[in-house]
Amino acid sequence: MTTFQSRVFSGVQPTGNLHLGNYLGAISRFVPLQDQMESIYCVVDLHAITVWQDPAELTRATREVTAAYLAAGIDPKKAIIFNQSQVREHAELAWIFNCVARMGWLKRMTQFKDKAGKHAENASVGLFAYPNLMAADILAYRATHVPVGDDQKQHLELTRDIAQKFNNDFDEQIKELGLGVPNPEPSHESPEEIFFPLTEPMIAGPATRIMSLRDGNKKMSKSDPSDLSRINLTDDADTIAKKIKKAKTDPDALPSEVDGLEGRAEADNLVGIYAALSGKSKADVLSEFGGQQFSAFKPALSELAVEKLAPMNGEMTRLMNDAAAIDTVLKDGAERASAIAEPVLHDVRRIVGFLEARRS
């Protein structure tokens, strides 16, 4: 190999309550990429169990994320869709990365601090090591591009750090075994030939961080106890309209320019949602709605959200009634994913020095 093949990898946790943030920040952006590069979209069930999951609900939610991928327009003939636990290489590489990453790196992860809260001692070891598994997801395919929302930025920086440390630590073996690829960004810290690429995060557009509809300073999240805080991908038209009607705003009219959104978190969020759903910029949205009250903007937003999300909701419901068809997609995807990850792990074992004795 003379260069890394361009390859997209991303994942969504099957932890219920898939919402508009997941759709606009991630899933909707996966769709056009399938026509540009080899794309691998994973349902990360191993990540989900870092906090307790009811087993039956985990199975259902795994199918539901798959249904969302398909309903959003990901074509399983073009992209690879599978659930993480069906491809053993993720867990194996994660263990090796547990031994590459440093405690200090993981202790700095803000998402662990947020999720573990005041009771870090009671958090699972898996929750702490979560970012190492994420690095393994990406690097088991030597993926070069990762589309995600803004909240995953720190994890992707860690992925680059892990790749870099592995490339450095095993520099000699990589060269000796002839498994290196010329480093596109060589530096004094980074050898000339590397095994793992330094992955590009793709965090772009008006929807990298969709906020709660009840509090413009909090991220829209699956775990918010208030269902009014988020638009779920399973919400019907009436529910979507009701939630937008009840969304928190301020008393002023919308500004005509983007600068005027500063300090107005809720207004900024709703304009961002409109922009992302319509494929326009915030500036375009404000040139249309600047000077108007929320009483006029909200119905327009509602109509747009229903127009975009209701067909997806219908398709998800249809797909969820055919579990066997979903499982077939996941099985086929897992086979194709394994065909890429297996040879990578074979090389990793040789690089690390694991003895592969032949068993008769």
Q: Which residues are catalytic?
A: 115, 219, 222
Considering the complex, what minimum distance in angstroms separates the CB of residue 121 from ligand TYM?
A: 22
Asked if 40 is part of the footprint of ligand TYM (rule: CB under 6 A), the reply reads: no
Asked if 196 is part of the footprint of ligand TYM (rule: CB under 6 A), the reply reads: no
Considering the complex, what minimum distance in angstroms separates the CB of residue 199 from ligand TYM?
A: 9
Asked if 220 is part of the footprint of ligand TYM (rule: CB under 6 A), the reply reads: yes
Rg, the chain, Cα only: 22
Asked if 44 is part of the footprint of ligand TYM (rule: CB under 6 A), the reply reads: yes
CA distances from 59 to 15, 228, 326 (A): 10, 26, 12
- Alpha carbons within 13 angstroms on the beta-carbon side of residue 117 total 3
Considering the complex, what minimum distance in angstroms separates the CB of residue 172 from ligand TYM?
A: 29
Considering the complex, what minimum distance in angstroms separates the CB of residue 10 from ligand TYM?
A: 4
Considering the complex, what minimum distance in angstroms separates the CB of residue 162 from ligand TYM?
A: 12
How far apart, in whole angstroms, are the C-alpha atoms of residue 151 and residue 24? Answer: 13
How far apart, in whole angstroms, are the C-alpha atoms of residue 267 and residue 250? Answer: 7
Contacts of 126 (CB under 8 A, 6+ apart): 49, 50, 133
Asked if 146 is part of the footprint of ligand TYM (rule: CB under 6 A), the reply reads: yes
Asked if 215 is part of the footprint of ligand TYM (rule: CB under 6 A), the reply reads: no
**Single-letter amino acid code for the residue at 28:** S
Give the interface segment with ligand TYM, choosing from 179-187, 203-211, 288-296, 323-331 (CB under 6 A): 203-211
Asked if 12 is part of the footprint of ligand TYM (rule: CB under 6 A), the reply reads: yes
Residue 75, token pair as written in the block: 């074509």
Give the interface segment with ligand TYM, choosing from 5-13, 245-253, 281-289, 300-308 (CB under 6 A): 5-13
Between 8 and 254, whose beta carbon lies closer to ligand TYM?
8
Give the interface segment with ligand TYM, choosing from 30-38, 183-191, 208-216, 273-281 (CB under 6 A): 208-216
The residues pairing with 201 across neighbouring beta strands, listed in sequence order, are: 146
Asked if 22 is part of the footprint of ligand TYM (rule: CB under 6 A), the reply reads: yes
Give the interface segment with ligand TYM, choosing from 3-11, 98-106, 258-266, 336-344 (CB under 6 A): 3-11
Asked if 134 is part of the footprint of ligand TYM (rule: CB under 6 A), the reply reads: yes
Asked if 233 is part of the footprint of ligand TYM (rule: CB under 6 A), the reply reads: no
| Total interface residues for ligand TYM by CB under 6 A | 25
Asked if 138 is part of the footprint of ligand TYM (rule: CB under 6 A), the reply reads: yes
Contacts of 164 (CB under 8 A, 6+ apart): 189, 190, 198
Contacts of 314 (CB under 8 A, 6+ apart): none
Strands (DSSP E) contained in the chain are 7-12, 38-43, 80-83, 145-147, 181-182, 193-194, 200-202
How far apart, in whole angstroms, are the C-alpha atoms of residue 360 and residue 354? Answer: 18
Cβ atoms within 10 Å, residue 224: 18
Contacting positions for ligand TYM (CB under 6 A): 9-13, 21-22, 25-26, 44, 47, 134, 137-138, 146, 148-149, 151-152, 207-210, 219-220
